[in-house]
Chains A and B, each alone.
Chain A
């Protein structure tokens, strides 16, 4: 186990709703990044937070937003959910903003109906 925990493990929402996913990073890690993994595909980088500031972002629309808290835990918020948002959402933590040696949680499986 990596020490990165995500909640909830599974979630069902309907189109148009908003969702908040949570991640606790491994002890001592100050950087958290989020990924979307569709079935049968590789993870897609959403964004990264280093010491509470976003320091990198992938090709996701603004309705995907995040926060990192002083204890380095993090939230991923998705507004106006679409059916294509159904995926496994993974959180990873690392020791520095350089994003090296990422340690992943087991993910939150989101289904949008």
Chain B
């Protein structure tokens, strides 16, 4: 399953399918974005990051897309596996002079069906 353009709090995906997780960010001046995965009882785990001067970045089985026009970020996971079941958060970082602010999105719970 996939969701395009809309943030959903939950996403159920068939094993082997591709997943798309969406995130809307709030500050047009944010210049750095990160996707995190959080499993139950653990801290968030870094997945992939992207700077504001890019619109796409690929990692191993993951791709992040950034659309600054509509302040939208997405994470695509290829060939979703049971180990991908977790809560996924996007984070935006605003940096100016000595000021630093990081904001996390609401999170999407991904459940992978066998």
Instruction: Spell out A's residues near B (CB within 8 Å).
Output: 2, 4, 33, 35, 41-45, 48, 55-56, 58, 90, 92, 97-107
* Pairwise interchain contact B43-A44, C-beta atoms closer than 8 A: no
Q: Give the nearest-CB partner of B51 in chain A.
A: A100
In the complex, what distance in Å separates the CA atom of A2 from the CA atom of B46?
Answer: 10
- B-side interface residues, number (CB < 8 Å): 23
In the complex, what distance in Å separates the CA atom of A4 from the CA atom of B42?
Answer: 12
Q: Which of A4, A33, A104, A105 has the most CB of B within 10 A?
A: A104
The residues of A that contact B89 with a CB separation of less than 8 Å are: 42-43
Q: Give the nearest-CB partner of A4 in chain B.
A: B43
* Pairwise interchain contact A42-B49, C-beta atoms closer than 8 A: no
8 contacts between A and B (CB under 8 A): A41-B106, A43-B89, A45-B102, A45-B103, A98-B32, A99-B102, A102-B44, A104-B43
In the complex, what distance in Å separates the CA atom of A7 from the CA atom of B19?
Answer: 35
The residues of B that contact A99 with a CB separation of less than 8 Å are: 32, 93, 95, 100, 102
Q: Give the nearest-CB partner of B90 in chain A.
A: A42
Instruction: Spell out B's residues near A (CB within 8 Å).
Output: 32, 34, 36, 41-46, 49, 89, 93, 95, 98-107
* Pairwise interchain contact B107-A41, C-beta atoms closer than 8 A: yes
Whole-angstrom distance from the CB of B99 to the nearest CB of chain A? 6
* Pairwise interchain contact A106-B102, C-beta atoms closer than 8 A: no
* Pairwise interchain contact B46-A102, C-beta atoms closer than 8 A: yes
In the complex, what distance in Å separates the CA atom of A2 from the CA atom of B32?
Answer: 21
* Pairwise interchain contact B99-A56, C-beta atoms closer than 8 A: yes
Q: Give the nearest-CB partner of A43 in chain B.
A: B104
* Pairwise interchain contact B101-A56, C-beta atoms closer than 8 A: yes
Whole-angstrom distance from the CB of B13 to the nearest CB of chain A? 21
**Among candidates B36, B49, B107, residue contacting A100 with C-beta atoms closer than 8 Å:** B49
* Pairwise interchain contact A42-B107, C-beta atoms closer than 8 A: yes
The residues of A that contact B46 with a CB separation of less than 8 Å are: 101-103
In the complex, what distance in Å separates the CA atom of A41 from the CA atom of B99?
Answer: 25
The residues of A that contact B105 with a CB separation of less than 8 Å are: 42
**Among candidates B41, B49, B99, B101, residue contacting A101 with C-beta atoms closer than 8 Å:** B49
Q: Give the nearest-CB partner of A42 in chain B.
A: B104
The residues of B that contact A107 with a CB separation of less than 8 Å are: 43
